[in-house]
């Protein structure tokens, strides 16, 4: 059973990196935060790195000089929220972290250097 899980996780990671989407430059915001309920923008640019929420609204990719730096699926790492759709609703850049709201009340942080993602709480 553990082997099957590891194989599935490995396949998922490989598939995610193989099918990464290029970002649309028109969807990049100059602001440090995006509330998806109020904006059609899907990415934030800071220090020549673009942090972009992919079409699935679950995956965040970091691009530097049009090359994928890292990618993380926030929902698979943090789990499906108890309230709301399993998708990213908000991202905000705060020094060295992306603050992410998933569902209605779950909060995650993504390290902007390496994409390490962790659930930090819910209300």
Residue 11 lies in a domain: no
pTM for the complete prediction? 0.81
In a domain, 75, yes or no: yes
37 in a structural domain: yes
Whether residue 12 lies inside any domain: the answer is no
Distance CA 87, CA 3 (A): 28
Q: How many domains does the chain have?
A: 1
Question: What is the tens place of the pLDDT at every residue in 3-24?
Answer: 544 444 444 444 444 444 578 8
**pLDDT band for position 90 (50/70/90)?**
very high
Tell whether 3 is covered by a domain: no
Structure confidence at residue 50 as a pLDDT band (50, 70, 90):
very high
Rounded to an integer, the average pLDDT of 32-49 is 95
CB-based contacts of 18: which residues, under 8 Å, 6+ apart?
Answer: none
| Torsions phi, psi for 15 (to 5 deg) | -65, -40
Query: How far, in Å, are 32, 55, 59 from residue 11 at the CA level?
Result: 33, 20, 16
CATH, residue 85 = 2.40.10.480
- Tell me the residue range of the domain where 97 lies: 22-122
């Amino acid at each position: 059973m553990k082997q099957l899980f590891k194989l599935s996780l490995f396949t998922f990671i490989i598939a995610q990196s193989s099918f990464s989407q290029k970002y649309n430059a028109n969807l990049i915001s100059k602001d440090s935060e995006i509330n998806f309920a109020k904006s059609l923008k899907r990415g934030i640019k800071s220090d020549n790195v673009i942090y972009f929420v992919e079409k699935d609204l679950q995956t965040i990719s970091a691009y530097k000089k049009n090359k994928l730096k890292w990618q993380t699926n926030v929902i698979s790492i943090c789990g499906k929220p108890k309230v709301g759709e399993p998708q990213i609703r908000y991202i905000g850049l705060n020094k060295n972290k992306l603050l992410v709201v998933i569902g209605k009340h779950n909060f995650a942080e993504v390290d902007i250097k390496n994409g390490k993602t962790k659930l930090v709480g819910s209300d």
